[in-house]
Amino acid sequence: MIRVEELSYGVPSKDLYKDVSFSLETGDHAALIGSNGTGKSTLADLLINTEAYLYDGKIIKEDECRIGYASQFTADEKNSDMTVVEYLSKRFLDVQDEIAAACDEMAVAEDMEAAFEKYQQLLDLNEAMDGDNYESNIHKQLYTAGMLDLKDVKISQLSGGEYKVIQIVKEMLLAPNVLVLDEPDVFLDFENLNSLVKLINNHKGILLVITHNRFLLNHCFNKILHLEGMELREFPGTYPAYRIEQFREKLELMRQYVDEQEEIQRNIEMVERLRKKATLLINPNAGRQVNAKQSQLERLLDRQIDAPFIELREPEITLPQVQAGDDEDCAKEQGPLLTVNDYSISFDNCILEGVNFEIMPGEKVAIVGANGAGKTTLVRDIMSGNHPAITIDPDSGFQCLSQLQGENFDNKLTVYKLLNDRDFGGETDIREHLAKYCLDEVDIKSPIHDLSIGEQNLLQIAAIENTGAKLIVMDEPTSHLDVYSQNALESAISDYEGAVLMISHDFYLIANCADYVLLMENGTMRRISARKFRKMVYDKFFEQKYLEIDRKRQALETDIRTAFHATELDKVESLIDQLEAMSEG
């Protein structure tokens, strides 16, 4: 349906792709993955709006190819008074009206051929969308998503997550040959994420989905397109199978690397011995032997592979270092860093009331709730620092990571200006700091809004490293971050000695990092243990044994990375075999 051949393209600040080739064929449900800032969204737009770009290579689409698209951002129609069914029916009714109007035009048209061609195109479009059966198709899709009970609800009354899933339902109903979804999972709660999984797995057409969501990746795709370092790898299989393939390739490269280094070392030692011998003997043959062996060594050095790494772009995230104070300071730290007392949220009706909790030093706490429960409103009130129900310890050095770009700092600033104003030093120091966060290719003299959203999120984290904060509030901190950055952030939170209050729909982040959970439901908040939360989500949303298997898989992958770094390659092979057996089982 779509074939890309040797595509090369770049933006003014950097090259994005070099001789990239892949295809999207019937039956493909492809995940497009890769580090933040590699150009995944740009590649999707290239496929959709090919004529708008100047590029090298070929993008070949079959004549009947119709491409649909659902953005990672919600549209302005969220405030519509249409019901869900009316909203989903609108495009079909518009096409039917256009067909009727085209039929009327043919009765009086001077150019009958052009009028008939327009009429036929509309008929073909209606047939491609299965317009004659749109009402039953709408009900089928809502049933698949588990949202049939929302059919008569107004769009304006949907939560943000519900509306996002309905947008995807709308695009699927239009039956494009290829549907592109750009980070459809961002900010979805567990229930809506589950709806998305069902929709993706039941979709009959070709899908290209840009995602970093580990649950989607583990459940939804039969092809992986991995964009990294201007190159793209096409893998015909599931994401867990692709991870195993990555590890096996890494193992092969590591063994080749080790063998090469041993051979290089042997040749270095041989050259040194021959040189010493040549200085003692006045013999032309000895000199020729030195030159020959030196040439052989240079050839080995020229063709040696680089030392490979498991993750190509895994950042080194470091949260602020909490400074230990004197005895008086330590005693003071025993009190809460954040206190919320009788907090409520009301708009047209009461959303949340009677909320009370404290965050103590060193605690890692997750606030969890359905879309629209009031989580982000609470965080913004904490950020403001002037809500009467919220008290923050003035010595906490409180810092906040926002899900909204530009909320924590002016994104018209340059990267250099932001970090220089925050005492990260001069240009060289700033570049070294950004390299830790895999932002070394960023143009530090360009405005922050030129960065991808994932890169902006990483920059937010990088900008608080030297603050010494004892409390960090994080609103959807893994949103838009690639899988490598998500793993690095989890490790950083676990190592952080300060307190974290995080609002998240990322089950993995919560399960791996939270000491306990504050659950928002039915207009109030209650505290539950992390263990009880994991069981609750597992029982409601995950297939039997999935969570246990996934945790074992993560543990094995961690052991594999550790063994790689220790160059224990036989152990690596044994662990990969275990990982593969688990996936097959």
Question: Which CATH number covers residue 196?
Answer: 3.40.50.300
Shared domain for 282 and 389, answered yes or no, is no
The per-residue DSSP string of 61-92 comes to E-TT--EEEE-SS--GGGG--SBHHHHHHHHH
Q: Measuring CA to CA, how many Å separate 575 from each of 218, 545, 556?
A: 19, 21, 7
CB atoms closer than 10 angstroms to residue 495: 10
Are 362 and 344 contacting, i.e. CB atoms less than 8 angstroms apart? no
Same domain assignment for residues 111 and 17: yes
What gap in Å lies between CA 579 and CA 573, rounded to an integer?
A: 10
Residue 510 located in a structural domain: yes
Question: Which residues, given as ranges, of the chain have pLDDT below 50?
Answer: 308-311, 326-328, 331-332
Number of domains in the chain: 3
Same domain, 217 and 279: no
Last residue of a domain, one of 229, 260, 287: 229
Residue 150 lies in a domain: yes
Task: Determine the pLDDT at residue 328.
Answer: 46
- 318 is a domain residue: no
205 and 299 in a single domain? The answer is no
Chain segment 311-365, per-residue pLDDT in tens: 456 789 999 998 755 444 554 457 899 999 998 887 667 778 888 999 999 999 9
State the pLDDT at residue 309.
44
Q: Are residues 136 and 281 in the same domain?
A: no
Per-residue tokens: 124 = 């073909």
From residue 214, alpha-carbon distances to 31, 478, 508, 537 in Å are 11, 11, 8, 15
pLDDT of the residue at 327: 44
CB contact burial 509-544 (16+ within 10 A = b; e otherwise):
bbbbbbebbbbbeebebeeeebeebbeebbeebbee
- Predicted TM-score (pTM) of this structure: 0.79
Ramachandran angles phi, psi of 214, nearest 5°: -70, -30
CB 267 within 8 Å of CB 297: yes
Check: CB of residue 56 under 8 Å from CB of residue 21: no
Query: Which strands, in side-by-side order, build the sheet including 2-11?
Result: 14-24, 2-11, 56-61
The CA R_g of the chain, rounded to the nearest whole Å, is 28
* 474 and 338 housed in the same domain: yes
Asked if 35 and 14 count as a contact pair (C-beta separation under 8 A), the reply is: no
CA-closest candidate to residue 317, choices 473, 471, 461, 506: 461
Q: What is the pLDDT at residue 384?
A: 81
- For residue 236, the tally of other CB atoms under 10 A from its CB is 11
Domain housing 128: 2-229
Residues 104 and 168 both lie in one domain = yes
> Closest Cα to residue 22, out of 11, 14, 33?
33
CB distance 34 to 228 below 8 Å: yes
**Assigned domain for 290 exists:** yes
Report in angstroms the alpha-carbon separations of 178 from 38, 47, 51, 494: 22, 10, 17, 41
402 and 341 within one domain: yes
Show which of 522, 542, 562 is a domain's final residue: 542
Going by their DSSP bridges, the two strands 67-70 and 178-182 should be labelled as: parallel
Tokens, residue 405: 């770009």
User: pLDDT tens-digit profile of 92-123?
Assistant: 999 999 999 988 888 887 888 888 888 899 99
State which of 182, 200, 229 marks the end of a domain.
Answer: 229
Same domain? For 37 and 185 the reply is: yes
Distance of alpha carbon 85 from alpha carbon 20, whole angstroms: 41
Give domain status of residue 471, yes or no.
yes
**Do 217 and 252 have their domain in common?**
no
What is the reported pLDDT for 304? 65
Residue 577 lies in a domain: no
Q: In this structure, what DSSP letter does residue 13 have?
A: T
Task: Say if 563 falls within a structural domain.
Answer: no
The answer to whether residues 248 and 371 belong to one domain is no
Would strands 206-210 and 178-182 be described as parallel, antiparallel, or unpaired?
Answer: parallel
> What is the residue-averaged pLDDT of the chain?
86
Extract the runs of DSSP E, i.e. beta strands, from 426-574.
471-475, 499-503, 516-521, 524-529
Q: Judge if 351 and 500 occupy the same domain.
A: yes
Residue 431, in any domain of the structure: no
